[in-house]
């Protein structure tokens, strides 16, 4: 059973890597932040379109490893129509889940993001999975400077 679940999770990651969702520029984005992971070479630019404190659209451009690309693809899907506070709460939960700082994460509560929970077993890959989320955190704080995982 566990192996079947692991295979399904790997397939979701591969699918989002091969066919990333929201891979485009939002020309009139309200927020734009660049992220870089020097360890793996992942680079992305995150675009957010806001309506007050609500994220109405999210997209990205860039290149990276399968985990980085899948993470940002999943993230841009999940944060649409969320408030800044809801997106911040997701960032906190995702970070705790991927770094192993909390064992109390209910994977059902994070939906599709649960496919990335396994990266906590591979410390070198955690930065790949969290790059997009640190970039989102900077965008939510309306910071302009590039984000680095180092």
Residue 131 tokens, joined: 């790059």
pLDDT 10s digits, 51-82: 999 999 999 999 999 999 999 999 999 999 99
Tokens of 74: 């999943």
Q: Does position 117 have pLDDT exceeding 80, yes or no?
A: yes
pLDDT at 26 over 50: yes
User: In this structure, are residues 92 and 119 in contact, taking their beta carbons and an 8 Å threshold?
Assistant: no
Q: Is the pLDDT of residue 106 over 70?
A: no
Which residues neighbour 36 within 8 Å (Cβ) at sequence distance 6 or greater?
A: 42, 43, 131, 146, 147, 148, 149
Residue 102: its pLDDT value, please? 63
Question: What is the total count of domains within the chain?
Answer: 1
* Domain enclosing residue 128, as ranges: 2-148
More confident residue, 134 or 108: 134
Rounded to the nearest 10 degrees, what angle do helices 84-99 and 123-140 cross at?
Answer: 170
> What's the CATH number where 30 sits?
3.90.1010.10
Distance CA 140, CA 134 (A): 10
SS3 content of the chain, % helix, strand, coil (to 5): 55, 20, 25
Average pLDDT over residues 35-54: 96
Distance CA 59, CA 72 (A): 9
Average pLDDT over residues 34-49: 96
Q: What average pLDDT is seen over the chain?
A: 90
Q: Which residue has the higher pLDDT, 76 or 7?
A: 76
């Amino acid at each position: 059973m566990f192996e079947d679940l692991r295979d399904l999770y790997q397939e979701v990651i591969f699918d989002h890597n091969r066919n990333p969702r929201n891979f485009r520029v939002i020309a009139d984005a309200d927020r734009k932040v660049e992220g870089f992971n020097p360890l793996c070479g992942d680079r992305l630019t995150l675009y957010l379109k806001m309506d007050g404190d609500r994220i109405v659209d999210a997209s990205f451009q860039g290149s990276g490893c399968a985990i980085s690309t899948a993470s940002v693809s999943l993230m841009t899907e999940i944060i649409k129509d969320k408030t800044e506070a809801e997106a911040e709460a997701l960032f906190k939960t995702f970070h705790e889940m991927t770094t192993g700082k909390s064992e109390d994460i209910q994977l059902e509560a994070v939906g599709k993001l649960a496919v990335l929970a396994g990266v906590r077993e591979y410390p070198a890959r955690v930065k790949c999975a969290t790059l997009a989320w640190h970039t989102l955190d900077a965008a939510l704080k309306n910071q302009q400077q590039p984000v680095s995982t180092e």
